[in-house]
Structure 1
């Protein structure tokens, strides 16, 4: 007899997400993927692709083919698109009018063509932007909630119900891994997903006097109450797993808590962190600390709020890559004096160890391109309101000693904020195959960061964004502990 195991998943992106349509928004390089309502959504193909890859890596090929299918066997799993959830925790119905959607402040903010974006740039060996390496990326702000349904079909004549439930629970458990991230730049901290809750239902397809499968399916796919109230934590299906145990949480390769040595700033923001007093004539600082909006869910409902100071994962990853290149060259005795006759193009090339860790892009032959082994989270910056300071800068004329015209400006800074840096392994098997020198270079770089020898942020040349030695740090990966410097 045929059976359906149905699951409704309530998920959220805990980091900004970039699922692009392939087109270009006006004045931007990318465009967010949107559904018929014009709202962002999670394409089922994107969800299934990432899901299948992780199941194959964690659970093995046999279970992966049995669930997701192969060239000889059709898939037993059906995955829907992820639809935005409104204030009432209901999935937004398809083909609604713009007037209906714009009446909801939360949905109206998601309808914007450019809800959020980040400016990106690649830095060369001289510390300046590479040629043609300045671009922007449209993003969906963190905190947006989606709902998607999953249907697993099995035949009790060939597969026992308990075994089918075990398979289903094992596949669903992958959602709790840090590596489950959707969209682009996932190794730079974007697209990280969280499973907030799920609602699982078993529906036998045989009609009896007490059970009508059509009624059961209709009730599941057309809920009439708050989805958040219906969902349960993943532990609700804990008994379905082998030995009734939840899978162990993914451990970070490295996690450290560092603090600013003095004043700190990152990037260039667009909104002031500290609003001036009412009636005050204070002008906004010329250079603002970078902050970005995030959806927060409180008692009245979701709100898109700004002023969350973030150190982007891409910035941390870039800084780590440059320091890893230094240590890799030091360990291999590749000194600058021996390359005095090299061309500028040769200096631009990254060393092999950096490519293995952080990925490689071959613009001539994309088949030679590959992703890196490391994932770096966005780092939320923790500070107090009293720590926001404004510093004035000026430039003096070398002849008169007076202020140069137009060279007086102000800068918004944070005093001794706290940062938590997390680095993860995207592919543990590939990391194990790296040579010892590359691992030593990575460990030396992380040691520099922990000891406050690696600035993170802007203005390090004039004393800002320096760090104190880490108060708390943890290396959970045995692979790094075994590496001797």
Structure 2
């Protein structure tokens, strides 16, 4: 048996749904009876099974990859089946002193720096809105997701049974490669910036349970998951990732406001009057030392702000290159509740069952952009007053004066991750549509956030066009699609 005890840190907020209905929140977190978030073992096992199958699919094919996943994680098919060789505990959260809280009935003090707010204050929520084919907010399309702030740590134990040393070594290499992948993520909206995890420390040991001494080591393991007596220090090795990363160096051309925050950033907002609309601010945990975590606030540009804009511009360029022009019938189809996605959008952003006869996850993964709270006063925070004008008289409407805060010319470093599997199923037109969309984003033709009609939200920046082109050529050669020449003709026409 291979045994790991790992400490996982949330690189971005986690949103692991409990599946419960609630009148206030649309998506409720999985919580212990004490009200603390945890990562269910089924969530980790499911993610690792899917990642293992995708990792070996290119080498072994679909059927071979399924056999490997069935061998490690088990299966049930009619009267036939096999128990899983992989075992996983729930991942329990840590307190501010980096100690695991594994007692599901533990009482949490309101004064505990990082756990108290989770239990005794209103939860952190990410607001979402569904956009229709016209680029406007869809009716009844507003919803929210409750999240666990980034930076929280969790402890978990993984166990892997094997019948011999060779099978153990093979499965261990696969599993450790998945654990060290930058794409390790759980929960909802993993393609939209949430759920990313990293291993901050761990311990490991291979035990032969036929040996009495090693069986004793296994049985004498401490109950607390963050205790590693009997195990050896372990560090995740660098492994080949199934994702390619394309850094994006973005900067706001002028003003930018994304989301709706509740904390004033300007001196006017703090000392005179709180603005009616402010940039989104979210808590996160920062570990000032190995055993001291503190809750702090940061400005967040959610990944969904970029992904939503990219998705709609991607659909425009894909339809343009394929000659799918707007007609009354096509517009009605696009506005239908379960309208099929354009070919290129489905290839890059995934599709659900029933759309174009296939279902697969998106091949693009976006990251949240996080910024420290600016000092007060700061040249990167602006404050302005708006009023509403009567359309008939041209005068100011009574009682409709409001104010907003915005960020000004801030740097927005981020990255776009491309699934290599998705790259290989994507044709030349979809690649060209993605490149055109990225060019629009970095050249100030695609706005994100609020009030783009008034000039807010436009960006400037750059990305490595050489890396993008190398990735495209490698992917098109791997898939060997004969449609690429036709695609280029369509684009040139």
TM interval, shorter chain, is 0.7 to 0.9
* Equivalent pair of 1:382/1:417 in contact (CA under 8 Å): no
Is 1:360 equivalent to 2:351 in the alignment? yes
* Equivalent pair of 2:25/2:144 in contact (CA under 8 Å): yes
Q: 1:36 to 1:254 in 2, by over 3 A?
A: same
* Equivalent pair of 1:17/1:191 in contact (CA under 8 Å): yes
Is 1:288 equivalent to 2:290 in the alignment? no
Match of residue 405 from structure 2: 412
1:69-468 alignment runs, 5 A limit: 69-71=74-76, 72-98=81-107, 100-102=108-110, 104-112=112-120, 114-155=122-163, 159-160=164-165, 164-206=168-210, 211=213, 213-222=215-224, 232-235=234-237, 246-249=238-241, 251-274=243-266, 281-299=271-289, 301-306=292-297, 308-336=298-326, 339-340=327-328, 344-347=332-335, 349=339, 350-361=341-352, 370-381=360-371, 384-385=374-375, 386=378, 387-397=380-390, 403-426=396-419, 428-468=420-460
Moved more, 256-265 or 443-452: 443-452
The C-alpha deviation readout for 1:345-394, integer Å capped at 9, x for no partner, is: 545544333233223346x8998654322222222247853211212223
CA positional deviation for 1:222: 4.2
Distance in 2, Cα, partners of 1:382 & 1:481? 38
The C-alpha deviation readout for 1:142-189, integer Å capped at 9, x for no partner, is: 11110000122234xxx23x7624531431220222332111111111
Moved more, 396-405 or 33-42: 396-405
Q: 1:335 to 1:77 in 2, by over 3 A?
A: closer
* Equivalent pair of 1:260/1:466 in contact (CA under 8 Å): yes
Distance in 1, Cα, partners of 2:180 & 2:17? 24
Moved more, 474-483 or 89-98: 474-483
Structure 1 unaligned segments of length 5 or more: list them: 236-245
Distance in 2, Cα, partners of 1:471 & 1:425? 14
Distance in 2, Cα, partners of 1:282 & 1:259? 30
* Equivalent pair of 2:249/2:461 in contact (CA under 8 Å): no
Distance in 1, Cα, partners of 2:438 & 2:226? 51
Distance in 1, Cα, partners of 2:144 & 2:150? 17
Q: 2:258 aligns to what SS in structure 1?
A: coil
Q: 1:325 to 1:407 in 2, by over 3 A?
A: same
Q: 1:164 aligns to what SS in structure 2?
A: helix
Match of residue 479 from structure 2: none
TM-score (norm 1): 0.83
Is 1:43 equivalent to 2:37 in the alignment? no
* Equivalent pair of 1:382/1:419 in contact (CA under 8 Å): no
* Equivalent pair of 2:245/2:417 in contact (CA under 8 Å): yes
Match of residue 8 from structure 2: 11
Distance in 1, Cα, partners of 2:348 & 2:356? 18
CA positional deviation for 1:230: 8.3
Distance in 1, Cα, partners of 2:89 & 2:242? 26
Q: 1:471 to 1:432 in 2, by over 3 A?
A: closer
Distance in 1, Cα, partners of 2:169 & 2:2? 8
Q: 1:89 to 1:399 in 2, by over 3 A?
A: closer
Match of residue 242 from structure 1: none
TM-score (norm 2): 0.82
The C-alpha deviation readout for 1:254-276, integer Å capped at 9, x for no partner, is: 32101111121112111223466
* Equivalent pair of 1:25/1:113 in contact (CA under 8 Å): no
Moved more, 440-449 or 396-405: 396-405
CA positional deviation for 1:207: 5.3
Distance in 2, Cα, partners of 1:138 & 1:325? 29
* Equivalent pair of 2:248/2:462 in contact (CA under 8 Å): yes
